[in-house]
């Protein structure tokens, strides 16, 4: 055919090189996008995380950092470290009120945060976030002595969130594949309320967020 060139041994098919170039460019674009999303999330925590964490004696940013640091220290997978860092992001989004518990309201921040994160992350990140309040209610119902481990503020919000789960709610939650990660996150959440606990800076977790965003299973960058 006129204009058609045979591609044989030793001859380079221009289309192959071109495909490789496109695939490299696409990877670069995805990496840049993941970095932008990670920066946006960290900037949100930095800009709005100075407010008190509910009725606790530390602020939201310190609580998030402590939770992520505990996850990292316990060897959690990167998606769960990201979930730990971002689990309360629903408190920081537009319209979130810092004093809902004070006013006797459940802010449903776990749903707001999980839905927000679902723009970019898969269930490995969003479901521990979505379930971290249910996990508290589950642990209070099933783990002897767990309720005594809650801070005063968390005990107060437990009542607003519906109290310990009932038998049918426990059975339903135990069918949820995300429960185990949510329970792990929840326990770090309880321990991440220590005034003055040393943690890495926010930027330490940037590479973790980027890695998760680029992961074919968890990220949707
Ligand atoms: Fe929390």
Q: How does pLDDT run across 79-126, given as a tens digit for each residue? A: 999 999 999 999 999 766 555 555 666 789 999 999 999 999 999 999
Q: Tell me if 155 sits within 8 A of 116, measured CB to CB.
A: no
Residue 97 Cα, ligand 1 centroid: separation in angstroms?
15
Residue 148 Cα, ligand 1 centroid: separation in angstroms?
17
Tokens of 121: 């992350």
E strand or H helix at 127, and its extent? helix 123-142
Residue 30 Cα, ligand 1 centroid: separation in angstroms?
30
CATH of domain 27-214: 1.10.3210.10
Residue 171 Cα, ligand 1 centroid: separation in angstroms?
24
pLDDT at 23: 78
CA distance 166 to 141: 7
pLDDT tens sequence for the chain (221 residues) = 333 344 444 455 555 556 667 778 888 889 999 999 999 999 999 999 887 766 568 899 999 999 999 999 999 999 999 999 999 999 999 766 555 555 666 789 999 999 999 999 999 999 999 999 999 999 999 999 999 999 888 888 898 899 999 999 999 999 999 999 999 999 999 999 999 999 999 999 999 999 999 997 654 55
Tokens of 98: 């810092």
Residue 2 Cα, ligand 1 centroid: separation in angstroms?
68
pLDDT at 13: 55
Residue 133 Cα, ligand 1 centroid: separation in angstroms?
9
For the entire predicted model, the pTM comes to: 0.84
Residue 32 Cα, ligand 1 centroid: separation in angstroms?
29
Residue 63 Cα, ligand 1 centroid: separation in angstroms?
7
CA distance 135 to 182: 6
In the chain, where the domains are located: 27-214
Distance of CA 111 to the CA centre of its chain: 12
CA distance 214 to 221: 6
């Amino acid at each position: 055919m006129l204009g058609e060139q045979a591609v044989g041994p030793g001859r380079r098919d221009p289309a192959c090189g071109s495909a490789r170039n496109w695939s490299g460019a696409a990877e670069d674009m995805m990496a840049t996008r993941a970095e932008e999303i990670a920066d946006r999330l960290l900037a949100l925590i930095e800009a709005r995380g100075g407010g008190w964490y509910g009725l606790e004696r530390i602020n939201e940013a310190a609580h998030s950092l402590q939770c992520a640091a505990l996850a990292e220290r316990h060897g959690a997978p990167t998606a769960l470290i990201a979930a730990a860092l971002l689990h309360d992001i629903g408190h920081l989004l537009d319209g979130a009120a810092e004093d809902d518990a004070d006013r006797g309201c459940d802010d449903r921040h776990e749903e707001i945060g999980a839905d927000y994160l679902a723009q970019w992350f898969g269930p490995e990140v969003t479901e521990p976030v979505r379930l971290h309040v249910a996990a508290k209610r589950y642990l209070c119902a099933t783990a002897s002595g767990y309720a005594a481990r809650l801070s005063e503020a968390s005990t107060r919000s437990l009542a607003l969130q519906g109290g310990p789960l009932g038998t049918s709610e426990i059975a339903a939650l135990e069918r949820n594949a995300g429960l185990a990660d949510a329970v792990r996150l929840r326990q770090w959440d309880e321990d991440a309320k220590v005034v003055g606990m040393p943690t890495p800076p926010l930027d330490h977790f940037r590479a973790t967020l980027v890695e998760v965003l680029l992961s074919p299973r968890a990220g949707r960058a």
